[in-house]
Amino acid sequence: MDEFTGLGVGLIALALYFLVIIAIFLIFRFIVLWYYRINKRVELLAEQNRLLREISSKLDKHSSNKD
């Protein structure tokens, strides 16, 4: 019975270890994303894509009206 108790404590310790590692990873990931402003860059690129699609559709409409 004692070996199962030791095993249970070991599994709990292992699970806590992985949770701490994951938490540290997520914290460092947030810091890196914030420092390099990656989230802002993604937003700006999405806006740029939207504007380019809008320009392209207007050019397509304009060129089809000429024909």
Q: What is the pLDDT of residues 27-59, one digit of tens each?
A: 999 999 889 999 899 999 999 999 999 999 999
The answer to pTM > 0.85 is no
Interior CA angle at 19 toward 10 and 21, to 5°?
Answer: 105
pLDDT at 17 over 90: yes
Quickly state the pLDDT bin for 3 (edges 50, 70, 90): low
Q: Report the candidate in 11, 15, 33 with the shortest Cα–Cα distance to residue 23.
A: 15
